[in-house]
């Protein structure tokens, strides 16, 4: 694991990392957070209902997990429920994918819809403020949610950030150039004739995914992820693949707004991630209170490829943030 820090004060960071041990006696006398009911359920939202699950019994500020896609599900984020002994973890499937209702109405396929949907879940659960962790497309949702509801966000964890889609597409096409000659020819042909169901193209996709998306998948969760994906949403907002972006997100670029984020931010990225560690470092350099952790040996789905280290990094970051907040109140 390589760590690249962009914080303004290394001394402050070190202090926060240990404050739970050194300053436990200074904890303010405040009422403990009320625990959310553990279990899963469905919440009615415009267009259908979304599935959610609350796990863990930790007393820290809860964290909500925003999966990638768009149109996929949270199966691959299950490893992050391991931090439930520190804080409660809210995992949910965005409308259209996973265990939530399927939708085909393209008027719902907007960033604004998914931001409203996320806050409706917060209101329903009765959470005053939570940590927000987004992965891939979920980082777009996390940043846009913060813009609308900054007072509801304790920290942002932006995993394999997709905050500059033109840069993402350029990098992805460079990654395609590293594939076998046969895969490159299949992709070139599919793009030329706009036909993406050719078995040779699908084989090329598999080669790309095994190098840059998931290197060590959990097969049962991968099967569930693919079986419940909503390709209509993915194609409309993204495009036919990770490296052919023709959807509504094609021009999305949040880099100019990163300087306005006023909460601690953790960026994580895999060593072989299609998100590209160098691009993620650039995001962190633009974010006032940010650090970057590069997870060695991992592709895009770091919760599979670097499970234990990913969980530890997130656990430590959120614990330090909670301790800092407690000291500030005191």
Each residue's pLDDT tens digit, 215-261: 999 999 999 999 999 999 999 999 988 888 999 999 999 999 999 99
Q: What per-residue confidence (pLDDT) applies to 194?
A: 87
pTM listed for this prediction = 0.89
Q: What per-residue confidence (pLDDT) applies to 330?
A: 54
Q: Looking at domain 36-165+246-329, does it have CATH number 3.20.20.10?
A: no
pLDDT (mean) for 277-291: 98
Would the pLDDT of 142 be above 50? Answer: yes
Would the pLDDT of 307 be above 50? Answer: yes
Q: What per-residue confidence (pLDDT) applies to 325?
A: 77
> Would you give the end-to-end CA distance of the chain in angstroms?
34
Bridge partner list, 265: 156, 290
Give the angle subtended at the CA of 163 by the CAs of 78 and 246, to the nearest 5°. Answer: 95
Q: What digits encode the pLDDT tens for the residues 80-135?
A: 999 999 999 999 999 999 999 999 999 999 999 999 999 999 999 999 999 999 99
Best mean pLDDT range from 2-16, 87-101, 192-206: 87-101
DSSP letter string, 166-217: HHHHHHHHHHHTTS-HHHHHHHHHHHHHT----HHHHHHHHHHHHHHT-SS-
Under 8 Å between Cβ of 33 and 59? yes
Q: What per-residue confidence (pLDDT) applies to 34?
A: 84
Would the pLDDT of 292 be above 90? Answer: yes
Per-position b or e across 316-326, b if 16+ CB within 10 A of its CB? ebbbbbbbbbb
Distance of CA 305 to the CA centre of its chain: 15
The Cα 105–Cα 180 span in angstroms is 38
Q: What per-residue confidence (pLDDT) applies to 36?
A: 95
Kindly list the catalytic residues: 136, 273, 300
Share of the chain above pLDDT 70, in %: 89
Under 8 Å between Cβ of 134 and 110? no
What residue ranges do the domains of the chain occupy?
36-165+246-329
Would the pLDDT of 12 be above 90? Answer: no
Q: What digits encode the pLDDT tens for the residues 312-324?
A: 999 999 999 999 8
């Amino acid at each position: 694991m390589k760590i690249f820090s962009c914080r303004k004060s290394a001394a402050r960071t070190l202090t926060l990392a240990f404050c739970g041990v050194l300053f436990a006696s200074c904890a303010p006398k405040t009422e403990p957070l009320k625990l959310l009911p553990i279990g899963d359920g469905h919440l009615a939202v415009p267009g259908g209902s979304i599935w959610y699950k609350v796990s863990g019994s930790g007393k820290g500020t809860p964290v909500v997990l925003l999966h990638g896609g768009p149109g996929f599900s949270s199966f691959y984020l299950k490893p992050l429920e391991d931090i439930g002994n520190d804080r409660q973890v809210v995992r949910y499937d965005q409308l259209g994918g996973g265990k939530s209702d399927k939708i085909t109405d393209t008027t719902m396929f907007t960033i604004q819809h998914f931001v409203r949907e996320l806050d409706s879940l917060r209101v329903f659960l009765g959470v005053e403020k939570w940590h927000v962790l987004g992965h891939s497309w979920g980082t777009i949702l996390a940043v846009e949610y913060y813009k609308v509801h900054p007072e509801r966000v304790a920290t942002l964890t932006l995993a394999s950030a997709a905050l500059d889609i033109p840069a993402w597409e350029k990098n992805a096409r460079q990654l395609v150039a590293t594939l076998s000659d046969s895969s490159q020819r299949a992709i070139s042909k599919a793009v030329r004739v706009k036909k993406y169901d050719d078995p040779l193209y699908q084989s090329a996709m598999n080669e790309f995914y095994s190098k840059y998306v998931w290197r060590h998948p959990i097969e049962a969760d991968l099967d569930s992820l693919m079986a419940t994906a909503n390709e209509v949403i993915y194609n409309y907002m993204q495009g036919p693949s990770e490296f052919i972006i023709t959807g509504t997100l094609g021009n999305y670029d949040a880099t100019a707004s990163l300087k306005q984020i006023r909460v601690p931010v953790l960026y994580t990225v895999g060593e072989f991630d299609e998100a590209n560690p160098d691009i993620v470092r650039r995001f962190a350099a633009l974010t006032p209170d940010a650090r970057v952790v590069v997870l060695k040996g991992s592709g895009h789905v770091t919760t599979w490829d670097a499970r234990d280290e990913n969980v530890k990094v997130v656990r430590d970051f959120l614990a330090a943030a909670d301790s800092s907040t407690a000291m500030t109140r005191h």
